[in-house]
Structure 1
Amino acid sequence: MDVLEAIEPGGWKKPQRLLRKEVKQLLAVLSALRDAGVEVTTSTERDTTEKSDLGVALHGGVAKQYAKLSATAGGTRSKQTKTSHRSTQTRRKEDFLRDLAPAISHALEDAAKLDGRNSLLVVLDDFYFIAKETQPFVLDHLHGITKRSNVWLKIGSVHSRTQSFVDGDPPLGMQPPHDLQHLSLDVGLADFATAKTFLEEVANGVLGPAGFKIRDVLTDTARERAVLVAGGAVARDYFDLLIAAADAGWEATQRSDKNADAFTIGAEHVQAAAGLRLQRKQTDLRNDAGREAPVLEKRFDDLVKFVRNRNTFFFLIRREHLDTPWGQEIVELEDLRFVHRIVTTRPNTTAWRGVDTVVFMVDFAALVGKRMRKAPVEFWKPGKSDELRRAEWVYDPDWTKTPKKLVQTRAEKDDSELLELPFNSSDRL
Structure 2
Amino acid sequence: MLLEAKRVLELQGSNVLWVNMQSLRSLGAPHAFLTVALRICDLILGAYASRPDSSQGHESLKLLRATIEQRFQPNAASLDDVALLVPQLQQVCARFCLQSGSSLFIFLDDIHYVKSSDAPKFLDLIHGVTRDCPVWLKVAGIQHQTRWFIPDPPTGLQTGHDAAIINLDVTLEQPEKAKIFLEKILRGYAEESNALPLSGVVSASAIDRLVLASGGVPRDFLTLCAASLQTARQRSNAKTVGVQDVNNAAGIISQTKQQELEDDAAATSGRSAILVASLNIVRDFLLSDQQITFFRIEFRDKELHQGEYRALQALADLRMIHLINASLSDPHHAGKRSEVYLLDLSQYSGSRLKQNLYVLDFEKGHMVLKRTRSSEPARVGDTVLKLVSLLRRAPMLNLDRLSDSILPAHDL
Q: CA deviation at 1:100?
A: 1.4
CA offset digits 1:297-352 (Å, max 9, x no partner)? 2212211111211232211111211222212321232234322111233567x6x7
Query: SS at the partner of 1:189?
Result: coil
Cα distance in 1 for partners of 2:97, 2:361 equals 52
Query: SS at the partner of 2:349?
Result: coil
Query: SS at the partner of 1:26?
Result: helix
The answer to whether the Cα contact below 8 Å between 2:105 and 2:135 also exists between their aligned partners in 1 is yes
Q: CA deviation at 1:361?
A: 0.5
Q: CA deviation at 1:152?
A: 0.6
After superposition, the Cα gap between the structure-2 partners of 1:347 and 1:268, relative to the gap in structure 1 and judged at 3 Å, is farther
Report 1:345-384 matches (<5 A): 345-346=328-329, 355-373=336-354, 374=357, 375-378=359-362, 380=367, 381-382=381-382, 383-384=386-387
Cα distance in 2 for partners of 1:177, 1:266 equals 45
Residue 308, structure 1, aligned to residue 291, structure 2:
no
Q: CA deviation at 1:34?
A: 2.5
Q: CA deviation at 1:244?
A: 1.2
Which of these residues, 322, 327, 342, is aligned with residue 324 of structure 2?
342
Give the equivalent residue in structure 2 for 1:28: 66
The answer to whether the Cα contact below 8 Å between 2:144 and 2:313 also exists between their aligned partners in 1 is yes
Give the equivalent residue in structure 1 for 2:42: 5
After superposition, the Cα gap between the structure-2 partners of 1:24 and 1:305, relative to the gap in structure 1 and judged at 3 Å, is farther
Query: SS at the partner of 2:341?
Result: strand
Which of these residues, 318, 323, 344, is aligned with residue 298 of structure 2?
318
Cα distance in 1 for partners of 2:180, 2:322 equals 18
Give the equivalent residue in structure 2 for 1:65: none
The answer to whether the Cα contact below 8 Å between 2:97 and 2:133 also exists between their aligned partners in 1 is no
Residue 153, structure 1, aligned to residue 137, structure 2:
yes
TM-score computed with the length of structure 1 as normaliser: 0.69
Which of these residues, 391, 398, 408, is aligned with residue 396 of structure 1?
398
The answer to whether the Cα contact below 8 Å between 1:7 and 1:111 also exists between their aligned partners in 2 is yes
Give the equivalent residue in structure 1 for 2:12: none
Give the equivalent residue in structure 2 for 1:270: 246
CA offset digits 1:93-125 (Å, max 9, x no partner)? 2223222113222333455567x5521110111
Query: SS at the partner of 2:234?
Result: helix
Amino acid across the alignment from 2:245: H
Q: Which has the larger radius of gyration?
A: 1
Cα distance in 2 for partners of 1:368, 1:312 equals 12
Higher relative contact order (CA 8 A, sep 6+): 2
Cα distance in 2 for partners of 1:125, 1:163 equals 14
After superposition, the Cα gap between the structure-2 partners of 1:179 and 1:354, relative to the gap in structure 1 and judged at 3 Å, is closer
After superposition, the Cα gap between the structure-2 partners of 1:365 and 1:8, relative to the gap in structure 1 and judged at 3 Å, is farther
Which of these residues, 166, 172, 175, is aligned with residue 189 of structure 1?
172
Report 1:35-184 matches (<5 A): 35-37=73-75, 40=76, 93-109=78-94, 112=97, 117-168=101-152, 171-184=154-167
Amino acid across the alignment from 2:200: D
Calculate the aligned-residue CA RMSD, in Å: 3.0
Q: Which runs of 5+ in 1 are unaligned?
A: 41-91, 401-429
Which of these residues, 186, 210, 213, is aligned with residue 203 of structure 1?
186
Give the equivalent residue in structure 1 for 2:389: 386
After superposition, the Cα gap between the structure-2 partners of 1:2 and 1:281, relative to the gap in structure 1 and judged at 3 Å, is farther
Query: SS at the partner of 1:302?
Result: helix
Cα distance in 2 for partners of 1:95, 1:190 equals 44
After superposition, the Cα gap between the structure-2 partners of 1:7 and 1:202, relative to the gap in structure 1 and judged at 3 Å, is farther
Query: SS at the partner of 1:317?
Result: strand
Cα distance in 2 for partners of 1:15, 1:333 equals 55
TM-score computed with the length of structure 2 as normaliser: 0.71
The answer to whether the Cα contact below 8 Å between 1:249 and 1:265 also exists between their aligned partners in 2 is yes
The answer to whether the Cα contact below 8 Å between 1:342 and 1:360 also exists between their aligned partners in 2 is yes
After superposition, the Cα gap between the structure-2 partners of 1:117 and 1:339, relative to the gap in structure 1 and judged at 3 Å, is farther
The answer to whether the Cα contact below 8 Å between 1:221 and 1:267 also exists between their aligned partners in 2 is yes
Cα distance in 2 for partners of 1:365, 1:270 equals 10
Cα distance in 2 for partners of 1:338, 1:5 equals 42
Q: CA deviation at 1:225?
A: 0.4
Cα distance in 2 for partners of 1:386, 1:160 equals 29
Cα distance in 1 for partners of 2:322, 2:233 equals 30
Cα distance in 2 for partners of 1:21, 1:227 equals 55
After superposition, the Cα gap between the structure-2 partners of 1:146 and 1:271, relative to the gap in structure 1 and judged at 3 Å, is same
Cα distance in 1 for partners of 2:388, 2:114 equals 39
CA offset digits 1:190-214 (Å, max 9, x no partner)? 1111111111111111111305043
Q: Which runs of 5+ in 2 are unaligned?
A: 1-37, 368-380, 403-412
Give the equivalent residue in structure 2 for 1:86: none
CA offset digits 1:128-184 (Å, max 9, x no partner)? 111111122112111210111110101112222333222335x32222222222222
CA offset digits 1:358-407 (Å, max 9, x no partner)? 2100122233344453443446341355233226x22125669xxxxxxx
The answer to whether the Cα contact below 8 Å between 2:302 and 2:399 also exists between their aligned partners in 1 is no
Q: CA deviation at 1:15?
A: 4.4
The answer to whether the Cα contact below 8 Å between 1:101 and 1:144 also exists between their aligned partners in 2 is yes
